[in-house]
Structure 1
Amino acid sequence: MKYLGELMENQPCTWLDAARGSKKENVQQLELIAEELSENYSSYDNLIDSSNDALPDSAFLQHSDLLIDYYEKAPKELNKLLLERRNEHELSFCPYCGNPMIPDTLDHFIPKGKWPEFSIFPNNLVPQCRGCAPVKGEHYYCIENNLAMFIHPIYFNFLENFRFSMNVSLNTESNDISVVVKLKRIIETQADDQRRVIIHAEKLKIKSRIIHYCKKEFRQWKRRLANAKFDVSTALKQRLSEIPQPDIGKDWQSAFYSALLQNQEIIDYMNSLHPAENLHQQSNHAVDLDF
């Protein structure tokens, strides 16, 4: 999980100007509500800060088709901005959940289906993994907890106060692993903020997704080890050496590799999977083929 404060865009919103300057057929309709939209943008920070309050109903629902169209079928200059935010972020894992996949989609933190006025507002658009996308969906406020379900990584930095901690054990009967996942607080955090992080993780189903990921990753390592001879401990340490030490545990992969290295029984088992030497190896001849 990661803080993305560097993605914050200042007001007035240049993205709205890019939309207003387009040649889309419906640009005149957008122009009629542009000033009112801009005023709503100025209230966005307060909406996000008021995480204990449900959002007021949108005053722009009658313009939903128009506003969402500017996101889904963005004109040229606006589309450049959207693509930059979606793809040019240099993230190696999802800021919402820590999934070690490069985020390649954008989440509308305040859902565009119910609040279309924020469809192209940059501070409402967060790079996200495709695992979070269907889970988060159009959800926003939890009545049961009287709290916003999720933490906005552009506005709040306390997601950085936590790391994933795992305990991995080997089931010798099935030769599979069991995984216990916890959140480890590394920096003192206010009780309300800590509660928000727990709810955020629960609503995104992070624990079950991590366990599924770890089991899949373990099977992949077993296949690698069955096909090539190398020391798995050295390989895992090499992967971790590519990550700054303070960042280990922000994502699932580094937390998992750290947990594997802490269990010598699993390391020994994985190293026992090396292929036997083949005394009758067939010679391989490289052949160039046209295609």
Structure 2
Amino acid sequence: MKNIRPLVNDDLDKLDEVILDRQGGRNRDLFNRIKKRLKKEWTEYLDSQADISKFQVSDTYWKNDKDTYINLYTHARDPIAKYKTDLKASHFGGLETCPYCGLPNVSTIDHFFPKSIFPQFSFLFRNLVPSCYDCNRIKDDKEPKKNEPFFLHPYFNSELSQNLLFFNVSIRCDTAVFELCPISSLSIDLKKIVEFQIKELKLYERLNDAAKTPWNGLVRNARNRTTPWDKEDIIKFVSDRAQDSIDQTESYNNINFIIYTGIAKSVHAIDFLESISTKRLG
């Protein structure tokens, strides 16, 4: 989960460019006819920050020529093609984390409002979100509904700049158990949205599985030490790893920050790591 900066803030100007580019094609009359209505719905989307309860979507109006609108994205020419290229260059690879789940490997572009249901937004620039393959696949055609929780919008929801997730870490039979949950201090409404996102994107399973890698690294570190690893040093080491993850990803909801913070605050996890280093040397 991450709040990201849009690469453009002039979607409506870009729409004018798209319409102008189609003046020589067979769909010229169609685009000239729908331009005013398209601008209206794009404006409502942007002004409401993609809050479906605050604007009226014309579900049936766009269905007749649905494939034509979607083709503007799938068979893009400039300025849409350039934007897709810029989006990939800015977010794919490296240390970038998915703005929906906080895991690495951003590799695709998601339509926040699915293009199969909202073809009029299929080439709206701020409806295009860089994401990992799994979130894009799982999110698929999930449709926003009025007055019901929906995913936090990476461009519009500033709440994504704060820490929203936490791991409760316990030790059972010498095995670490991770329980993903929303931060307890969240408002009731925000907590409902975070819980929705955890459930719909299967974050409980996906993040729990991903948490094993940093935890196993700490266990190996404890076992391979030549001197005891006391509690204070463990907490500092783990807390430093959490801070490093923020410096790298600019997100408080990346998987490493969530897991390392959970471990640092778990008395049982810290005691377990200390006991491993002591047992080996003893």
Report the TM-score when normalising by structure 2.
Answer: 0.74
Q: Which residue of 2 aligns with 1:10?
A: 10
CA displacement at 1:19 relative to structure 2: 6.8
After superposition, give the CA deviation of every residue in 1:49-91 in whole Å (9 maximum; x if it has no partner): 3438885414222222222222122225422211212330487
Q: Which residue of 2 aligns with 1:260?
A: 263
Q: Which residue of 2 aligns with 1:288?
A: none
Q: Which residue of 2 aligns with 1:180?
A: 179
Superposed counterparts of 1:174-253, under 5 Å: 175-185=174-184, 189=187, 191-219=188-216, 233=234, 236-244=238-246, 249-253=252-256
Distance 2:117 2:14 in 1: 23
Distance 2:15 2:276 in 1: 51
Give yes or no for the alignment of 1:73 onto 2:75. yes
Distance 1:168 1:240 in 2: 15
| 1:108 to 1:273, Cα distance in 2 relative to 1, 3 A | farther
More helix by share: 2
Give yes or no for the alignment of 1:83 onto 2:85. yes
CA displacement at 1:266 relative to structure 2: 3.5
Contact 1:109 1:124 in 2 (8 A): yes
Q: Which residue of 2 aligns with 1:122?
A: 125
Partner of 1:60, secondary structure, is coil
Partner of 1:155, secondary structure, is coil
| 1:237 to 1:193, Cα distance in 2 relative to 1, 3 A | closer
| 1:12 to 1:219, Cα distance in 2 relative to 1, 3 A | same
| 1:211 to 1:10, Cα distance in 2 relative to 1, 3 A | same
Distance 1:257 1:193 in 2: 23
Query: Tell me, which stretches of 5 or more residues in structure 2 are unaligned?
Result: none
Distance 1:83 1:23 in 2: 24
Superposed counterparts of 1:280-291, under 5 Å: none
Paired AA for residue 203 in structure 2 = I
Distance 2:241 2:27 in 1: 50
Q: Which residue of 2 aligns with 1:141?
A: 144
- RMSD over aligned CA atoms reads 3.8
Which of 79, 95, 101 aligns to 1:97? It is 101
Query: Tell me, which stretches of 5 or more residues in structure 1 are unaligned?
Result: 275-291
Q: Which residue of 1 aligns with 2:53?
A: 51
Distance 2:195 2:24 in 1: 44
Paired AA for residue 205 in structure 2 = S
CA displacement at 1:169 relative to structure 2: 2.6
